Amino acid sequence: MLPATPALLSQEDAVSWLIDIVNDHGFNAGNIVIQLPEAAAMVRERETMEAVLALKRHGFQFAIDEFGTGFAPVHMLRKIPFSFVSLSEKVVQGIGKLPSDEAIVDGILYLARQLGLQVYAPGVSNLEQASYLGGRGCNWMSGVYVEERLAQKDYVEEGWHFASFIIK
């Protein structure tokens, strides 16, 4: 995932710059997920939407970062063509400790599933969190627990996608 801000995307040459980098290096734009903060729909709305739509036409995917922790309206999930929802690391850390955080995670997972979005959970630090998320349909995870499991020889967990490459 590539973190970006509305300020970056609204710069005059940002779209062509990103497209040129991808083309010059032979990357597949479909494998690049640009992560926008939850407030993206509320800041520089017109410029951000134009940039997002232009990049989407070139195959880039988009994720909303730390969904559910800010003040952005839920309808923004329809407005911006997101492919992913990124959970807040704080609510991931609350799994197994705070029923309210588990309820937030469950609600976001349900909403994402209904909208056809994939869910990424950063900061997974133990088996309880990984099992909870995986058992409820979370698509991608990263964190200390994930890194430790990937380091084990021949470790594969059916149905789970570990995103050890995600930049955060």
Residue 64 confidence (pLDDT): 84
List strand residue ranges (DSSP E) for the chain, in order.
2-3, 33-37, 61-65, 84-86, 118-121, 140-141, 161-162
∠98-150-160 over CA atoms, to 5°?
60
Which residues, including other chains, have CB under 8 Å from residue 80's CB and lie 6 or more apart?
36, 40, 41, 48, 49, 52, 62, 64
Residue 164 confidence (pLDDT): 43
Identify the helix (H) or strand (E) that includes residue 129: helix 127-135
Task: Give the pLDDT means over successive 10-residue stretches in the chain (168 positions).
Answer: 83 90 92 83 74 92 79 69 88 94 94 92 94 92 85 59 43
Residue 168 confidence (pLDDT): 32
Spatial contact of 63 and 120, defined as CB atoms under 8 Å apart: yes
Q: How many CB atoms sit inside 10 A of residue 92's CB?
A: 23
Evaluate if pTM is beyond 0.75: yes
Residue 46 confidence (pLDDT): 78
Residue 146 confidence (pLDDT): 84
Residue 42 confidence (pLDDT): 66
64-76 burial, b if ≥16 CB within 10 A, otherwise e? bbbbbeeebeeeb
Instruction: Give CA separation, 106 vs 66, 110, 134, in Å.
Output: 14, 6, 12
| 40 vs 76: CA distance, rounded Å | 9
Residue 167 confidence (pLDDT): 34
Token pair for 138: 């979370």
